[in-house]
């Protein structure tokens, strides 16, 4: 038998990780902006829910052009979130409850307001010049055809020295030059600073875009080539990036039980092999890497099964998958309509999927109450992407609205005016109401998390699809040498009949429609619409 799985250095394999968008989680001081003390106030809730770690989207000093993904001081907390003392309290209060803390580290770029960039732009021989990517352009032209992922050219002209600087994202986020050894060692010391305060890992922002082609060659792939999954793009996945990740890992490994999870940008989303290449088992790269393909899947059993199968197959032996349904960059319901219906039936199917797959689940705040994608009036939009592309694309605010806690003012998020409107599609949809309502998705999440934690088979077992009835039904096994669990998900709004090859003999662990502990012995099952059922199979011994 294994020791308590969440205690060891591999804690992240058995953990459920909860992503908090700090501005929108809980506001303790009434300024309308969530903060660290607000998070401390909700730690008991997170303990009750059953999460093992929280990942905080960026909390460092920032002009907040891109909500903290534009850092102006890596060693300070943004004042709206609190200060270093508040942070230490958060770490200590979380650890008391056995909840680990993961910080978001943005290594690819800084804010344009970072003192390094302010220096770097002064002159070509400034000591910080080489910390960023500066190039001359041929007369009246940009240095090359590299694009920003957020629209337009990746090059912005800076008058002071008449050169261009490169930015993968907004022009307010100049890219750093990771070939500079001084810069590298500075960031290693940033990591140590936070690790010394006792944190448990980092989420590495856009980590695969860190290094660009040294010869600044034009990007070749046509849109078609990119859509076909050709990822030999010159501004990402460069061989040196892997080398740098090894070095980041070495720093992490100076400490015990530190986890690195990387955001790997792929076009189209879900280039499983590429994501998995950052996890290899022969050398120590990342512990986990996000694969966003579930988020983009159509509402179809077959589709989910094929995505999951490919993802599982691409993970090297000894490496570990992780799974995610939503985050702060994407619509809460992108690619599928699972949150568009007024009932939470589909969201429960997704919850069951997420929490019974092999791999570390990441839950985005509010997912546990099936918070919907918000509609934000144009004048209230904060995300510069939304401002830039409205109405074709309304930006990312729709999945960043305040957490809904109870029936009081602003649904308990803040006593002041929230920075983004609270989205109240349905007055029942808040934590307090759902805690008191037997059939709520929140209680379902709570039970699923508890079940997962209690089952070595769900935590560590292999995954194997067994029945796929077209768009409608997906059933799969999780199994170890000792145990076998069958998960059945009905994606359809109708009853479905499933025939099993061998007689099913087991006991219900959790179900949306059946009683836990009920025995089930059959070769034929009639599934209720949107039923999710998890069955422990009786084995002979
Ligand atoms: C990915 C982050 O998730 C996103 O929010 C941000 O805008 C970009 N990286 C740039 O940091
Ligand atoms: Mg506040």
- Residues 156, 303, single domain; the answer is no
pLDDT for residue 501: 84
Residues 441, 434: Cα–Cα separation, whole Å:
7
Q: What is the pLDDT of residues 445-464, one digit of tens each?
A: 999 999 999 999 999 999 99
Q: How far is the CA of 201 from the centre of ligand 2 (A)?
A: 25
Which ligand neighbours the alpha carbon of 397 most closely?
A: 1
Cβ–ligand 1 distance for 107 under 6 Å, the answer no
pLDDT for residue 460: 97
| Catalytic one of 205, 344, 383, 397 | 205
Cβ–ligand 1 distance for 324 under 6 Å, the answer no
Q: Would 65 be classed as within a structural domain?
A: yes
Stretch 169-175: mean pLDDT, rounded?
A: 98
Q: Would 256 be classed as within a structural domain?
A: yes
- Residues 202, 322, single domain; the answer is yes
- Residues 385, 474, single domain; the answer is no
Q: Is 205 a catalytic residue?
A: yes
Q: How far is the CA of 466 from the centre of ligand 1 (A)?
A: 37
- Residues 119, 82, single domain; the answer is no
By residue range, what is the domain housing residue 419?
Answer: 11-108+181-451
Contact 33, 77 (CB under 8 A): no
Q: Which of 24, 55, 57, 66 to mutate to test the pocket of ligand 1 (most atoms within 8 A of CB)?
A: 66
- Residues 146, 221, single domain; the answer is no
Q: What is the pLDDT of residues 483-532, one digit of tens each?
A: 999 999 999 999 999 988 889 999 999 999 999 999 999 999 999 999 99
Closest CA to 176 of 134, 205, 145, 141: 134
What's 496's domain CATH number? 2.60.40.1180
pLDDT for residue 341: 84
Q: Which of 58, 149, 206, 398 to mutate to test the pocket of ligand 1 (most atoms within 8 A of CB)?
A: 206
Dihedral, CA of residue 336, residue 339, residue 341 and residue 342, to nearest 10: 180
- Residues 282, 410, single domain; the answer is yes
Confidence of residue 223 (pLDDT cuts 50, 70, 90): low
Q: What is the pLDDT of residues 417-441, one digit of tens each?
A: 999 999 988 888 999 999 999 999 9
Kindly report the pTM of this predicted structure.
0.97
| Catalytic one of 27, 263, 344, 368 | 263
- Residues 207, 283, single domain; the answer is yes
Closest CA to 326 of 3, 21, 6, 9: 21
Check pLDDT > 90 for residue 275. yes
What's 159's domain CATH number? 3.90.400.10
- Residues 185, 317, single domain; the answer is yes
Check pLDDT > 70 for residue 230. no
Check pLDDT > 80 for residue 328. yes
- Residues 295, 406, single domain; the answer is yes
Q: What string of DSSP letters covers 28-42?
A: SSSSSS--HHHHHHT
Q: What is the pLDDT of residues 23-55, one digit of tens each?
A: 999 999 999 999 999 999 999 999 999 999 999
Pick the range with the lowest mean pLDDT from 7-11, 375-379, 509-513: 7-11
Q: Would 176 be classed as within a structural domain?
A: no
Q: Which residues pair with 201 in a beta bridge?
A: 102, 259
- Residues 445, 487, single domain; the answer is no
Cβ–ligand 1 distance for 290 under 6 Å, the answer no
Nearest CA to ligand 1 atom 3: 329
Mean pLDDT of the chain, nearest integer? 94
- Residues 101, 136, single domain; the answer is no
Q: How far is the CA of 205 from the centre of ligand 1 (A)?
A: 7
Provide the domain count of the chain.
3
Q: Would 171 be classed as within a structural domain?
A: no
Check pLDDT > 50 for residue 361. yes
Q: How far is the CA of 178 from the centre of ligand 2 (A)?
A: 35
Q: Would 240 be classed as within a structural domain?
A: yes
Q: What string of DSSP letters covers 489-510?
A: EE-SSS-EEEEEEEEEEEEEEE
Check pLDDT > 50 for residue 2. no
Confidence of residue 1 (pLDDT cuts 50, 70, 90): very low
Neighbours of 59 (CB within 10 A): 25
Rounded to the nearest angstrom, the gap between the alpha carbon of residue 107 and the centroid of all alpha carbons in its chain is 17
- Residues 424, 302, single domain; the answer is yes
pLDDT for residue 500: 86
Structure tokens at 185: 């060692």
Pick the range with the lowest mean pLDDT from 255-264, 272-281, 356-365, 479-488: 272-281
Q: Which of 72, 169, 262, 290 to mutate to test the pocket of ligand 1 (most atoms within 8 A of CB)?
A: 169
Q: Would 175 be classed as within a structural domain?
A: no
pLDDT for residue 233: 72
26-68-183 Cα angle (round to 5): 140
Stretch 219-243: mean pLDDT, rounded?
A: 76
With helix as H, strand as E and coil as C, how does 377-434 read?
A: CHHHCCCHHHHHHCCCCCCCHHHCCCCCCCCCHHHHCCCCCCCCCCCCCCCCCCHHHH
Strands 532-537 and 496-511: antiparallel
Cβ–ligand 1 distance for 106 under 6 Å, the answer yes
Q: Would 173 be classed as within a structural domain?
A: no
Residues 129, 144: Cα–Cα separation, whole Å:
20
pLDDT for residue 3: 40
Q: Would 5 be classed as within a structural domain?
A: no
What's 78's domain CATH number? 3.20.20.80
On the 0-12 / 13-18 / 19+ scale of CB atoms within 10 A, 390 is: middle
Nearest CA to ligand 1 atom 8: 69
Confidence of residue 196 (pLDDT cuts 50, 70, 90): very high
Which residues are placed with Cβ below 5 angstroms of ligand 2, an ion? 27, 29, 31, 33, 35
């Amino acid at each position: 038998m294994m020791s308590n799985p969440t205690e060891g250095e591999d804690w992240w394999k058995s953990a459920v990780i909860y992503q908090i968008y700090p501005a929108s989680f809980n506001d303790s001081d009434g300024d309308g902006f969530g903060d660290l003390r607000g998070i401390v106030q909700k730690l008991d809730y997170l303990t009750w829910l059953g999460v093992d770690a929280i990942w905080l989207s960026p909390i460092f000093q920032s002009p907040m052009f891109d909500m903290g993904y534009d850092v102006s001081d890596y060693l300070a907390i943004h004042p709206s979130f609190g200060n270093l003392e508040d942070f230490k309290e958060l770490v200590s209060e979380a650890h008391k409850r056995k909840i680990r803390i993961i910080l978001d580290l943005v290594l690819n770029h800084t804010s344009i307001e970072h003192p390094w960039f302010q220096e770097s732009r002064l002159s070509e021989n400034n000591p910080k010049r080489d910390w960023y990517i500066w190039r001359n352009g041929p007369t009246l032209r940009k240095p090359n055809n590299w694009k920003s992922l957020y629209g337009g050219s990746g090059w912005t002209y800076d008058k002071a020295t008449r050169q261009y600087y490169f930015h993968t994202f907004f022009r307010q986020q100049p890219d750093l030059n990771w070939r500079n050894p001084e810069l590298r060692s500075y960031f290693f010391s940033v990591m140590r600073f936070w690790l010394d305060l006792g944190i448990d890992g980092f989420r590495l922002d856009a980590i695969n875009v860190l290094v660009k082609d040294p010869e600044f060659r034009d990007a070749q792939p046509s849109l078609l080539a990119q859509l076909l999954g050709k990822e030999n793009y010159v501004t990402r996945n460069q061989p040196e990036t892997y080398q740098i990740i090894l070095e980041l890992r070495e720093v992490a490994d100076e400490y015990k039980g530190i986890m690195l999870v990387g955001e790997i940008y792929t076009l189209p989303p879900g280039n499983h092999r590429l994501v998995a290449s950052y996890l290899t088992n022969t050398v120590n790269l990342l512990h986990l890497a996000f694969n966003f393909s579930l988020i983009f899947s159509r509402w179809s059993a077959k589709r989910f099964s094929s995505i999951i199968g490919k993802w599982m197959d691409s993970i090297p032996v000894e490496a570990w998958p992780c799974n995610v349904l939503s985050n702060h960059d994407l619509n809460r319901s992108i690619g599928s309509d699972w949150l568009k219906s007024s009932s939470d039936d589909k969201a429960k199917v997704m919850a069951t999927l997420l929490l019974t797959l092999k791999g570390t689940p990441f839950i985005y705040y509010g997912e546990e109450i099936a918070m919907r994608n918000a509609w934000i009036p144009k004048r209230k939009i904060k995300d510069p992407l939304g401002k830039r592309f409205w109405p074709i694309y309304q930006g990312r605010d729709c999945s960043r609205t305040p957490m809904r806690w109870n029936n009081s003012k602003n649904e308990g998020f803040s006593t002041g005016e929230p920075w983004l409107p609270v989205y109240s599609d349905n007055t029942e949809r808040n934590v307090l109401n759902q805690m008191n309502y037997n059939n709520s998705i929140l209680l379902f999440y709570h039970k699923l998390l508890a079940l997962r934690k209690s089952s070595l088979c769900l935590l560590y077992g292999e995954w194997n699809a067994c029945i796929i009835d077209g768009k409608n039904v997906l059933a799969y096994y999780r199994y170890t040498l000792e145990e076998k669990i069958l998960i059945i998900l009905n994606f359809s709004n109708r009853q479905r009949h499933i025939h099993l090859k061998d007689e099913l003999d087991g006991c219900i662990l959790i179900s949306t429609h059946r009683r836990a502990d009920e025995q089930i012995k059959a070769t034929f099952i009639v599934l209720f619409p949107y039923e999710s059922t998890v069955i422990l199979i009786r084995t002979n011994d």
